[in-house]
Chain A
Amino acid sequence: MAGSNPNAKPMNLTLKVWRQKNRDTAGQLVSYPVKNVSPDMSFLEMLDVLNDDLEIRNEEPIAFDHDCREGICGACSLFINGRAHGPERGTTTCQLHMRHFKDGDTITIEPWRAAAFPVHKDLVVDRSAFDRIQQAGGYISVNTGGVPDANEIPIPKTVADKAFDAATCIQCGACVAACKNASAMLFVSAKVSQLALLPQGKTERKTRVENMVAQMDIEGFGACTNTGACAAECPVGISLENINKLRREFIVAKATSENVA
């Protein structure tokens, strides 16, 4: 393999993987030995190797989500050895490399666990609850017309930076997976903050936060206990500050919006 470390010794591992046929059947952890794993492989490449083996043996390969494999799309998930996206901080599973494990290790791989994220198959969960929260208000309504000049609306650099930091959320769901209450507060707060900070998003800020929080509750996510687990496990480093921003947005909206319900 080009660029690989010639001194890196291949490892033999035991995987305990959650296997579940579909939404309606019960699942269980199944053990698989994996041999000759290069420390330079990513975690997903290691699973690819195992899946090749399974296919050769005419067994059903393990289903798991993945897409860009560059750490930017948010498709990959996996609860690895009790941690969302594995033992490294600030990284997605596709960017987790096997050099962080030792020869002879047993690795437990589970899907995200939340009532709002039902398991489709094996390690794939349905994260469409996030899409429905977004659809409830995570957008700005842009009217048609001429394109305004880019510098017409002044936005301080510090505000733009905060909005951008919030916008880096890739909707992977690690916050929900890591939270003891399976709360989606960090995700919702990133979306609400990003838009509420910028002039274009301010016009709809009250209905946005009310509708998104309402949808979050409908989807069955838990409440926030401020443990901070979400931010600690977030692969892109969304800050807890956003959750407090969400609360201010929510309290102000509830106190002053025109919606009486």
Chain B
Amino acid sequence: MGRKIIMSITGLFLCSFLVVHLIGNLQLFNDDGGAAFNLYSYFMANNIVIRIMEIVLLLGFLFHIYDAIVLVRKNKAARPIQYAEVRPQENSTWSSRNMGLLGTVILVFLIIHLWNFFVPARFGGLEGVVIEGAEYENLYIRVVESFQIWWYVLIYVLAMVALAYHLIHGFQSGFQTLGLDHKKYTPFIQMFGYAFSVIVCLGFAIIPLYFFFLY
């Protein structure tokens, strides 16, 4: 049960990261040739508070993933012989039963995503760009170029669908795991979690679609 509590706390923490990440990304929609976004990415790569939070975030991901692996193994061991016939659709939602599968899709996406944007932005490999007389790395052009590739856009959109389903179950489940359940507040948490999942994932998915179709 302790492990589920860690799953819940890290999961809800990662939800808060999604909000920060999405708000930052909205600068991509500034019609200024990417200046605001590049200044923002410079800030994110150099600010000390952000750099510390980057480590906390990494730990959040690592604990969430490690615990998921341990729990899946434990849960599989709890039923060594499977039923010949099951009708789980009669008693539970698909996403609640497939959190591991959805999480794996998100992890694969995360690796692709980090490799394409985070690694060059953080460890070098981007072109330079001059903004108000100073030289910055041009992460914006990397975003623009990446989202001209149709299969890349497709990966992003599919990953966001997986994330939405992961969050639709995970957000409210995280509160339950902490015992935060009350008939006055739980309906609100469930509704908020649903809206949160859809809006955040839609927000992320719009970015590649915007650059592919409208840029």
Report which A residues bind B (CB closer than 8 A): 16, 18, 29, 79, 81-83, 87, 108, 110, 113-116, 178, 180-183, 213, 217, 220-229, 232-233, 240-241, 243-248, 250-251, 254
Contacts and interface: CB of A to CB of B under 8 A. Distances in A.
B92 A232 contact: yes
Interface residues of B, number: 37
Nearest to A84: B91
B75 A222 contact: yes
Nearest to B4: A223
Contact of A180 (B75, B84, B173, B179): B75
Given A114-B79, A222-B78, A251-B5, A227 B179 contact: no
Given A229-B91, A244-B176, A247-B178, A181 B78 contact: yes
A240 B1 CA distance: 16
Contacts, number: 114
Contact of B181 (A115, A183, A229, A244): A244
B2 interface: yes
Contacts of A251: 5, 178-179
A225 B91 CA distance: 13
B85 A81 contact: yes
A249 to B, nearest CB: 8
A251 B177 CA distance: 10
Interface in B171-194: 172-173, 176-181, 183
A82 B83 contact: yes
Contacts of A18: 84
